[in-house]
Each structure stands twice: as C-alpha cells, then as structure tokens.
C-alpha cells in the first residue's frame, strides 16, 4: 500500500514568510487569505490553499505528495536589497 504524505503548512510558511523591511509588508498575501490569482504566488502541482485548517482555523498551504523523490516549492518574487535588515517568522 502506498503511503500518501500530506503536509499542512499553516498560514505563513518558513520559506515564504511575510518579510518586513521598515515595517513594510513585502510578501503579497502571506497568510493565503485572499484569492491566489494575481497575488504574486506560483503554486506548483500538488500544492493548494485550504480554508479553515491553518492556525486558529485560518487558511493554510497544503502539499500532498506520494513520491519522496519528487518535490517542488511555492514561490513569490520578493524585492530585497543589500544592506537592508529583514525580519520573518511563521507557523509550521
């Protein structure tokens, strides 16, 4: 029997967290609460946003994968610059 891996990653995930520079939100839709269309995210196959399963019943990013050899990561281009301090955090 094939075991299915399911990882539910709450609202803001480690590698795509709301980065802050001078208190400015750099990650668009970091909590996945808004529609994903046009919000800067690229979600590969096997990734989806689910309502009500995140921290405090918020939205969460879900990865369902049945192959340990194949994986991908959601991504978003974030404008950053040298000499700037960024703060990030998240729930997994």
Domain extents in the chain: 5-65
Q: What is the pLDDT along the chain (92 residues), one digit of tens a residue?
A: 344 444 444 333 444 455 554 567 888 888 888 776 657 788 898 998 888 988 888 888 899 998 888 889 999 998 899 998 888 887 77
- Rounded CA separation 82/35 (Å): 31
Where in the chain does DSSP place strands (E)?
5-10, 20-21, 24-25, 47-50, 60-65
> How much is the pTM?
0.61
* Residue 18, CA atoms < 13 Å, CB-side half-sphere: 15
Q: Where are the alpha helices (DSSP H) in the chain?
A: none
| Cβ within 8 Å of residue 58, ≥6 positions away | 10, 11, 31, 33, 52
Measured from the Cβ of residue 46, the count of other Cβ atoms closer than 10 Å reads 16
């Amino acid at each position: 029997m094939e075991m299915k891996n399911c990882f539910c990653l709450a609202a803001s995930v480690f590698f795509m967290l709301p980065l802050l520079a001078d208190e400015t939100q750099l990650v668009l839709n970091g909590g996945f609460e808004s529609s994903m269309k046009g919000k800067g995210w690229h979600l590969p196959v096997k990734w989806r946003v689910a309502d009500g399963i995140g921290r405090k019943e918020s939205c969460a990013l879900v990865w369902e994968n049945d192959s340990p050899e194949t994986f991908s990561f959601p991504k978003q281009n974030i404008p950053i610059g040298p000499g700037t301090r960024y703060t990030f955090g998240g729930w997994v």
